[in-house]
Amino acid sequence: MSDADTKQIERMKAILKAQQDAFAAERHRAAEERRADLKKIADLTRTHADDIAKAISEDFGVRSAAETQLAEVAFVIKSATHAGKHLKRWMKSRGVAVEMTMAPGKAYVRREPKGVAGIVSPWNYPYQLALAPLVAALAAGCRAMIKPSEYTPKTAELIKRILGEAFDETHVAVITGGPAVGEAFCRLPFDHLFYTGSTSVGRLVAKAAAENLTPVTLELGGKSPAILTEGYPLEPAAKSIAWGKYFNAGQTCVAPDYLLVPAGQEKAVGEAVITMAAAHYPQPADDPHYTSIVSDRHHARLKAMIEQARAAGAEVIEVPHDVNAAGAARKIPPTVVIDPPLDSDLMREEIFGPVLPVLGYDSLAGAVAFVNGRERPLALYVYAKDKAAARSVLDRTLSGGACVNAAMLHLSVEELPFGGVGASGQGAYHGEHGFLTFSHQRAVFEAPVKHPSRMLAPPYGAAFRFISKMLTR
């Protein structure tokens, strides 16, 4: 471990202690103060929109400014604004019914902040996936420490600077550093730990948090399937799938990871997707709206996956491009692979890049069985003219979220919970669901000074037998 890492670890321990002390002194931040916090997030995001786009693009090599505006800047502003608008309703205690045998009395649930939250954010949407959980934590009245990804250092430093200008470190702090710092961060005794990233690292995060019995939210990934049913129009399907798959060059946790189509239509569908992708990105190597792969290592991994499938006999279809220019820009053109082997890396690993395997199925039941034979995905997409067919797929599968006749749009609905299930994650956020993630729902029963429950105390006589009979009949 380097001296810099050691100093950073000691610094974050001191910040955690300072935030814990600050929370103890102000356990219930008023609604007006929380709304002011959320307004700060929206305002600084709006003010620094160009800086955010520039930093992310420098980290990636090329990152579409339009995609940053849509998926990072606008997303965070909308999230903060929505939370501020609904905050007072979310904060209210919820009364519950009291059974006659417990009367007279009052029962309700208090929504209270958990305390100090830790947020570990990834590189693929480095601003959104750091700030959206922060919005939820601040809405809930928590204090927060953020550990951004070391793979996007310029964005991490920007987040640290602009949040440092808006918040005292006893309220919101940003910790930068490499894997050693990240590992130590996850071992801190937070009141809640929120992690977004890969499933493999998510398992390690859960183990680290377990040392302190820290509750965790794990926003992971997996191989999200898309199913095209018989008779669905090819052009709108191809347009939706191409948009969902090649947005951010496929470096999206809910991007369609593979596409199942009626047997015999694999090549026609694959070519339609590539035709649509070519319309979106006619010159991917030089197109400023087509994003680079984030690192040389990730670029090499994706290239190896494609070549492995090609060597095994799978047909590879790509948007026409300048190979040398694409390589120099660390770009992989929109790609479709027809019927890759099921034991290939394309079908065993989450792709996280602009490569779409297309496979055929003999029956819709067979497609459902194929999906269910794998780990639970973060998202599932079904394209069906027949609503009954779409509902049938939803009824027989399980995924974190789903869309019918669309890709990725479910995560843009603020009041839908966003999260995984099984290997794709645990817990959810966005809207009120995010507020609840960072809140403790405290059960309270208020009884009058004289309450019939006093008669349940020993010695157990006639009054006890009467009440017991009422409780058990």
Give the residue numbers marked as catalytic.
219, 253
Name the strand (E) or helix (H) holding 255: none
**How many CB atoms lie under 10 A from the CB of residue 260?**
24
Q: Which residues of 36-64 are buried (b: 16+ CB within 10 A; e: fewer)?
A: ebbebbbebbeebbeebbbbbbebbbbbb
Confirm if 216 and 239 have CB atoms less than 8 A apart: no
Q: How many CA atoms lie within 13 A of 320 on its CB side?
A: 3
Q: Which one, of 207, 194, 80, lies nearest residue 144 by Cα? A: 194
Number of residues assigned to the chain: 473
d(CA 434, CA 136): 5
How is residue 173 written in tokens? 């702090």
Angstrom distance (rounded) from CA 378 to CA 399: 6
Report whether 335 contacts 356 (CB < 8 A): yes
Give which of 395, 215, 285 is closest to 61, Cα–Cα.
Answer: 285
Question: Which amino acid makes up residue 381?
Answer: Y
* Residue 187 burial (CB count, 10 A): 17
Q: Which residues pair with 418 in a beta bridge?
A: 429
The DSSP annotation for 346-393 comes to HHHS---SSEEEEEEESSHHHHHHHHHTSPPPSEEEEE-SSHHHHHHH
CA dist 142 and 94 (Å) reads 20
Distance (Å, rounded) from C-alpha 44 to C-alpha 77?
9
Q: How many angstroms separate the CA atoms of 326 and 31, rounded?
A: 50
